[in-house]
């Protein structure tokens, strides 16, 4: 009798994808080929992790029910990655046993009270527990905690082959609602990257000259960026220093720390230089690395060698026409401006490690660099080039080229705008959201997500290269404080900016 009941319960938790009248709710698009970057991430075994902190305890049954409903509307979460006779990879639908994808752990009282334990749990998960390739490449790990701002945590782990950060965060937020408007689906702002200018220009000749100049500028900057990117692939690499990894670093044990910023503090700095949040973030990262190197290499600091080091990173850029998190229905329907998948390219950022008398000068320098990058098609080119190499030479060649570009730099970074209002998951309000990514051939990955006026920068490092990521995270936080103090003295703003988050 007990075995029969157990079998019935198990059968109820198996989601049938093929056949039957219950499939009416499923968006059936048939077997789908893996995107070019998806095949590359498959070879690297790159995985995205979203860690969500809840104000109340995690309810296992609610968690299972919510994800059961969510995955039915996304074929990749109901599919396994297979190859045909010609070696072509594609997604093939299968049956899902939801209990094997939702894992709830019980913590000891000491671990439950440890503010750093969620990061330790995630670091161990990355190194010790790979995704099962015989099932759809995602799972959820949940546990109850007793922290200052949270009583429950769940980690959504998704293979990067399923989609990029924009796709997956949009998927996660599709099951959330605003606390103030629980009956209205959560739809985040969807700004367009290239707005159409409908104004009538009286001086058409000057307008033509301006457009011609912009075209020349785009062509020249793209040529320079692409050539420098090619040099990075061929031979040019970052200097050897305490934060630079070595061959195979993607397989080493990890450690994780979180740097917390206030958007209003970042707003004070960006307003002081008429810049953006990204200008401030990249400056904070470069200044933070300098602080860390000063601590680790005092002899180099005395000799003035730190500012001569070559330290660079790759920034992941969304190549869709629509920016920001997208409405899930648009992603799944293949909207040309907001399609699901890995629609991302890279831009190369070389950090300035010089110490300025006026800290805001470092922000101005960063702003000039990023403004120039905005008049370049580097990100689109890197995406198109990878797709072309894959088509002509195969996945192995494309993966090798991109691997060298990453391995010859020190870090990867991304910045995703999250909700500005308080949201809830199944009636449970969120405390904060963070994200990170494993499997890249670098010693450091930096991913920032904003939520409710704060920004959370996850600092994932190779443990044998940087044994103290908490110190590095604190260096980032101290750098923003220094910039804010300098901006406050200049502008006389004491209470922070009210202009909000504008990347």
Query: Which strand (E) or helix (H) includes residue 451?
Result: strand 444-451
Q: So what's the pLDDT on residue 195?
A: 39
Q: If pLDDT is split at 50, 70 and 90, which confidence band does 132 have? A: confident
Beta-strand relationship, 152-159 and 47-54: antiparallel
pLDDT at 201: 47
Burial, 492: exposed, middle or buried (Cβ in 10 Å; 0-12, 13-18, 19+)?
Answer: exposed
pLDDT above 80 for 28 = no
How many structural domains is the chain composed of? 1
How far apart CA 174 and CA 161 sit, in angstroms, is 20
pLDDT digits (tens, 9 = 90+) for 232-275: 999 899 999 999 998 889 999 999 999 999 999 999 999 999 99
pLDDT class of 222 with cuts at 50, 70, 90: very high
Q: Tell me, what's the pLDDT at 339? A: 52
In percent, how much of the chain has pLDDT > 70? 83
Q: Mapping DSSP to helix (H, G, I), strand (E, B) and coil, where does residue 212 land?
A: helix
- Return the CATH number at 298: 3.30.559
Contact criterion met (CB below 8 Å) for 220 and 430: no
Q: Is residue 471 part of a domain?
A: yes
Say if 30 falls within a structural domain: no
| Least confident piece of the model among 28-32, 126-130, 139-143, 219-223 | 28-32
Closest CA to 464 of 295, 239, 244: 244
Q: Looking at the predicted structure, is the pLDDT value of residue 345 above 90?
A: no
For 36-45, the pLDDT digits (tens) are: 778 888 888 8
What is the model's pLDDT at position 272?
Answer: 94
Instruction: Say whether pLDDT at 2 is over 70.
Output: no
Residues paired with residue 144 on neighbouring β-strands, in sequence order: 152
Residue 369 belongs to some domain of the structure: yes
Residue 493 has pLDDT above 60, yes or no: no
pLDDT top residue among 334 and 77: 77
Give mean pLDDT, residues 73-79. Answer: 81
50 located within any domain: no
Is 333 within a domain?
A: yes
The yes-or-no verdict on residue 50 having pLDDT over 70 is yes
Residue 341's pLDDT band, with cuts at 50, 70 and 90, is: low
Question: Between 211 and 372, whose confidence is greater?
Answer: 372
**Which pLDDT band holds residue 124 (cuts at 50, 70, 90)?**
very high
**What pLDDT is stored for residue 362 in this prediction?**
96
**Does residue 75 sit within a domain?**
no
5 CB-near residues (< 8 Å, 6+ apart):
none
Residue of 334 and 241 predicted with greater confidence: 241
Say which residue, 104 or 4, is predicted with more confidence: 104
Write down the mean pLDDT value for the chain: 83
User: What number is the average pLDDT over the span 97-119?
Assistant: 92
pLDDT at 188: 56
Domain around 315: 224-249+262-415+455-491
pLDDT confidence bin for 342, thresholds 50/70/90: low
Distance in angstroms (rounded) separating the CA atoms of residues 57 and 62: 11
The reported pTM is: 0.85
- The residue-averaged pLDDT of 127-155 equals 92
Q: What is the pLDDT of residue 420?
A: 86
Whether the pLDDT of residue 223 is over 90: the answer is: yes
Identify the band that residue 203 occupies on the pLDDT scale cut at 50, 70 and 90: low
d(CA 393, CA 391): 6
Give the residue, 328 or 47, on which the prediction is more confident.
47
> Which structure tokens are listed for 317?
């850029």
Give me the numbers of helices (H) and strands (E) for the chain, helices first please.
Answer: 15, 18
Token pair 């059961």 in the structure block, residue: 68
pLDDT of residue 166: 72
Residue 57 has pLDDT above 70, yes or no: yes
Give alpha helix (H) positions in 237-377: 263-273, 277-296, 298-302, 328-333, 360-373
Selection from 169, 105, 94, 170 nearest residue 137 by Cα: 94
Mean pLDDT of 297-301: 89
Q: How far apart are CA 396 and CA 66, in angstroms?
A: 38
Output the CA–CA distances (angstroms, integers) from residue 351 to 232, 287, 441, in the order listed. 15, 9, 19
Confidence of residue 187 (pLDDT cuts 50, 70, 90): low
Summarize the confidence of residues 441-468 as an average pLDDT.
Answer: 95
How far is the C-alpha of 338 from the C-alpha of 455, rounded, in Å? 24
Mean pLDDT of all residues in 423-439? 92
Give the C-alpha separation, 442 to 206, whole Å. Answer: 47
Asked if residue 214 belongs to a domain, the reply is: no
Over residues 396-425, the mean pLDDT reads 90
Q: Does the residue 233 lie in any domain?
A: yes
80 close to 136: Cβ distance less than 8 angstroms? yes
Burial class (CB in 10 A: 0-12, 13-18, 19+), 87: exposed
Which of 341, 292, 290, 293 is CA-nearest to residue 319? 341
Quick: pLDDT tens for 163-172: 777 777 777 7
How would residue 329 be classed by pLDDT, with cut points 50, 70 and 90?
Answer: very low
């Amino acid at each position: 009798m007990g075995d029969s009941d157990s079998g019935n319960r198990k059968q109820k938790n198996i989601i049938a994808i093929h056949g039957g009248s219950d499939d009416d709710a499923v968006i059936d698009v048939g077997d789908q080929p893996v995107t070019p970057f998806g095949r590359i991430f498959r070879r690297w075994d790159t995985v995205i992790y979203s860690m969500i902190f809840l104000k109340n305890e995690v309810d296992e049954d609610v968690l299972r029910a919510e994800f059961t409903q969510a995955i039915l509307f996304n074929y990749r979460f109901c599919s396994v990655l297979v190859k045909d006779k010609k070696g072509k990879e594609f997604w093939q639908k299968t049956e899902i046993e939801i209990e094997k994808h939702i894992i709830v752990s019980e913590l000891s009282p000491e671990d439950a009270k440890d503010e750093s334990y969620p990061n330790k749990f995630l670091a161990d998960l990355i190194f010790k527990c790979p995704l099962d390739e015989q099932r759809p490449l995602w799972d959820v790990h949940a546990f109850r905690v007793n922290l200052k701002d949270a009583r429950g945590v769940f980690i959504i782990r998704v293979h990067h082959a399923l989609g990029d950060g924009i796709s997956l965060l949009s998927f996660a937020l599709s099951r959330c609602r605003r606390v103030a408007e629980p009956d209205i689906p959560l739809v985040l702002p969807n700004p367009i990257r290239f707005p159409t200018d409908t104004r009538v220009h009286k001086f058409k000749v000057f307008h033509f000259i301006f457009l011609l100049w912009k075209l020349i500028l785009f062509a020249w900057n793209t040529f320079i960026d692409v050539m420098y990117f090619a040099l990075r692939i061929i031979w040019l690499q970052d200097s050897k220093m305490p934060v630079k990894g070595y061959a195979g670093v993607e397989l080493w044990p990890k450690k994780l720390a979180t740097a917390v910023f206030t958007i209003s503090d970042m707003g004070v700095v960006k307003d002081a230089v008429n810049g953006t949040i990204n200008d401030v973030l990249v400056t904070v990262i470069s200044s933070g690395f300098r602080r860390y190197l000063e601590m680790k290499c005092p002899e180099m600091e005395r000799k003035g060698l730190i500012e001569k080091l070559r330290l660079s990173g790759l920034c992941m850029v969304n190549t869709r026409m629509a920016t920001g998190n997208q409405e899930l229905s648009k992603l799944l329907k293949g909207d040309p401006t907001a399609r699901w998948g890995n629609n991302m390219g890279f831009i190369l950022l070389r950090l300035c490690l010089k110490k300025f008398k006026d800290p805001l000068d470092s922000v101005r320098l960063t702003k000039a660099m990023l403004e120039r990058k905005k008049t370049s098609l580097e990100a689109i080119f890197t995406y198109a080039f990878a797709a072309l190499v894959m088509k002509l030479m195969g996945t192995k060649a494309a993966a090798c080229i991109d691997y060298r570009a990453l391995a010859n730099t020190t870090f990867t970074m991304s910045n995703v705008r999250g909700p500005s209002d308080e949201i809830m998951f199944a009636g449970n309000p969120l405390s904060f959201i963070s994200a990170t990514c494993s499997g890249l051939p670098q010693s450091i990955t930096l991913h920032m997500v904003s939520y409710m006026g704060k920004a959370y920068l996850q600092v994932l490092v190779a443990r044998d290269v940087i044994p103290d990521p908490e110190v590095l995270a604190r260096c980032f936080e101290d750098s923003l404080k220094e910039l804010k103090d300098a901006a406050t003295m200049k502008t006389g703003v004491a209470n922070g900016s009210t202009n909000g988050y504008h990347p």
